[in-house]
Every structure is written in C-alpha cells, then in structure tokens.
Amino acid sequence: MAGELILLSSEYSLFAERVKIAFAEKGITNYQIRNEDLSNKSPLLLQMNPVHKLVPVLIHNGKPICESMIIVQYIDDFWNHKSPLLPSDPYQRAHARFWADYIDKKIYPNGRMLWSSKGEIMEASRKDLIQSLKTLNSELGEKAYFNGESFGYIDLALIPFYNVFHTFESLGNFSMEVECPQLVEWAKRCSQKETVSKSIWDKRKFYEMSLRYIDGTIPCPPVAIRKEGVTASNPAHAIWLCQDSLLLHAILASVFDLSISLILASRTSGEAWEKLAKLYANKSRSRIMHLKERLSTSRGSKPLPEYLQFVKSTVDELALTDKRLTDDDLTIHVLNGVGSEFRELTIAVQARETSIAFEELHEKLMDFDTFLKKEQSSEISTIIVNFIRRNSQFRNSFSS
C-alpha cells in the first residue's frame, strides 16, 4: 500500500515532468499534483524543501523527497516490481547515474545561459551546449535508448528538454539534425511513448501557456520583493523572463524572413505578438481594399462567363478575409459591371421585392446574354440581307 502521494510542482516545470514520467512508467496514477505559484511559494513547499525551496517535491505519507532525479530513484526503489528505470547491475547503475548527472550539469545550465546572457558568456554556453549534445549523441550511438532496448533513467532525465530543442537551435544558431542526428531520432522515439507524451508539455499546452504570457494573463512579476522589511530580488521575475524568452524565441523561429526584421528588437513575447498582429492586420486591410477595388472594375471586353467567374473568385477571397458581401451589395457591383446592354434586366432585378442570390443572378445574366446575342445576330442578318439586296440591285443596275 503506497499511502498518500502529493507532488509539489509548478505548471510548466521540466523537472517535475521527470517525476510524472517515472510514475507513468510504474503505472501509478493515484497521486495528487499541487501546482505552486513560484512567485509566492506556499508554506508547505518552504517546509518540505527548506534547503532549495524548489519544485518538484514528492511528499510520501507526509515525508518529503526533493530533487527530481532523487525522486525518480525513490520511485524506482519503492515500486520495484515493474518497469525498472535503473539497471540492476551496480556498474550499469553507476553509469546511468553518471549520464543523468552530466545532463543536469550541462544541458539545463548551458541552455539557460543561452537565453539569459549575452556576448562572450553566451558564446561560451552555446559552444558548451553543442559539445554536450554531441557527447550525448555519441553515448547514445545507434541504440534505441541510452540503456539499450528499453526506456530508462537517462532517457527520463533528458526527454523533458525535447520541447526546448528548437529554442536551443534558434538561439544557438545550429541544427540538431546536423550536430546530433541520433539524438533527434531518439527524442521522436521517446515522445511516441504514452508514458512520455502524457507527461511532457504538448504543443497544445505550450500554445495555451503562450497565449497567457502574450495576452498578459501571466504578467511579469516585480524585479524585487519586500519580505519582513527587507528588499530582495524576486526569483519569480527571473523565471518569468526565462519562460517568456523561450516563447519569444519560439515566435521568432516561426515567422517568415520578411516579418522577422520587424519583431527582432522585441523584448517580450507580448511585444513581438503585438507587432505581428499590427503587421498582418495592415496586410489584410490593404488586401481587402484591393479586392473591393477589383469588384468595382467593369467587364470591359471580357466575355460574360469570364467576368462572372472573376467576380465570384473575388467575392470568395473577400469571404476568406471575413468581409462577406451581402447579396444586394454583390448584385449592385455585378449589374454596374456588366454594362448598359443589360439595362432591362437591371431594372427587372432592382424592381424585385427580395434579394437575388449570386447563382440566380448568374443564370439570369447568362440567359439575357444569349438573348442579346440572338438579337444581335438577327439584327446582323437583317443588315446583311439588306446589304446583299442593295448591292445586288446596285450590281444589276450597273451591269445593265
């Protein structure tokens, strides 16, 4: 009997994801997650992890276990009947611990420096991060998982960082595909496992969080806080900047070349988003104006079917920009465009009590066009007949 299990976490803690994966591997679901507000840590967190004051903390029957990889080992020891995470062989266990420790010392600290520092420090972190990823790539080699055929302790330590791989690439200006191709394949393989995909950020969660940073629902906490009369720097401020910087770089990585120069100087994800929104709003406004102008051009020498097709495609494009024309507006545009020879039809349509749909108008115009063509051809044939008659009389009189 496991007893009471409480996991102190925060909404998007990569370290807590390790614990969630370990529980999922063991098939443990009956634990409670309590998400901490890291800008205002609960008395429970401070009491359970008085040394580091960090999440995750696992509280098992009232007793705290701190530090993510120590929690994972505890879970592996306690629920040792299923899916071992650490190998049983002492040497292999030491080997697995070595690499998990390497990940903790190299990946997160260098990644963090990459998005929170500048100049030489950033460059040094960039180089060290790439080198560390390459080292992990060689350690993995052609194996499916770090330990061989089955998912284990080292995989679990590294996989939560999968969601920030593209941020590493865009900030560090390198390609994981080029530098560490096996690692990229390994990450895809791991994320297909249900125990992993259910426990790490998915794109939807990431998107929801992005919106909350961007729209200001999660505002930037103050730089400093006052506690018991003393002013101290606020760790929540640094965390917010770090998360927001991840989002900003995700936005930068996803926009096209032309827009990037406009948003490059943005300091926060919200600022970048606002600039993009303005940019695209302007683009769509000018597109709408252009389409409306196209609608008011008259048919000229275009055959009627071609003109009507041109109107239809313009109206469809306008509908895509959310500017749907009413049937009446469209009818006015079309009747103005077709020309004065459709005058009788125009009068008949305008005299209707109800609006006319484009399809019906199209049919009526085509019928009227056929009628006009017939009229024209009978007029022409009358002219031709008269001409021939006149000419034959003329020729006869001339020849006689």
Ligand X SMILES: N[C@@H](CCC(=O)N[C@@H](CS)C(=O)NCC(=O)O)C(=O)O
Site of interaction with ligand X (CB under 6 A): 10, 13-15, 38, 54-56, 67-68, 235, 239
- d(CA 137, CA 154) in angstroms, rounded, equals 12
Asked if 107 contacts 164 with a C-beta cutoff of 8 angstroms, the reply is no
Min. distance of Cβ 95 from ligand X in angstroms?
A: 20
For residues 182 and 195, what is the distance between their CA atoms, to the nearest angstrom?
21
- Only one residue has tokens 């370990």, namely 22
Token code pair at residue 243: 């998360």
- Give min distance, CB of 19 to ligand X, in A: 9
Q: Which is nearer to ligand X, 64 or 235 (CB)?
A: 235
Q: What b-and-e string marks burial along 36-58, b requiring 16 or more CB atoms within 10 Å of the CB?
A: bebeebeeebeebbeeeebbbbb
Rounded Cα distance, 260 and 254, in Å = 9
Q: How far is the CB of 265 from ligand X (least distance, A)?
A: 28
CB of 235 to ligand X, least distance (A): 4
| Distant-in-sequence contacts of 391-398, Cβ < 8 A, 24+ apart | none
Q: Looking at beta carbons only, is 56 or 337 nearer to ligand X?
A: 56
Cβ proximity to ligand X, 244 vs 369, nearer residue: 244
Task: Work out how close the CB of 311 gets to ligand X at its nearest, in angstroms, rounded to a whole number.
Answer: 57
Please report how many Cα atoms fall inside a 13 Å half-sphere around the Cα of residue 323, on the Cβ side: 17
What are 101's two structure tokens?
């420790």
Kindly tell me the number of DSSP H helices and DSSP E strands found in the chain: 18, 6
- Give CA separation, 398 vs 2, 299, 386, 391, 394, in Å: 124, 46, 18, 10, 6
Nearer residue to ligand X within complex by CB, 39 or 284:
39
Nearest distance, CB of residue 39 and ligand X, angstroms: 9
Nearest-approach distance from CB 179 to ligand X, in angstroms: 25
Shortest gap between Cβ of 74 and ligand X (angstroms)?
Answer: 12
The amino acid at 161? F
Closer residue to ligand X in complex, CB, 13/195: 13
- 213 class by beta-carbon count within 10 Å (0-12 exposed, 13-18 middle, 19+ buried): buried
**Contact yes or no for 85/156 (Cβ under 8 A):** yes
What is the distance between the alpha carbons of residues 247 and 214, in angstroms, rounded to a whole number?
9
Q: Give 136 or 315: the residue with its C-beta nearer to ligand X.
A: 136
**Closer CB to ligand X, 43 or 300, in the complex:** 43
DSSP string over 134-193: HHHHHHHTT-SBTTBSS--HHHHHHGGGGGGHHHHHHHHT--HHHH-HHHHHHHHHHHTS
Whose Cβ is closer to ligand X: residue 242's or residue 319's?
Answer: 242
Between 155 and 369, CB nearer to ligand X: 155
Question: Taking the complex as a whole, how short is the minimal distance between the CB of residue 63 and ligand X, in angstroms?
Answer: 17
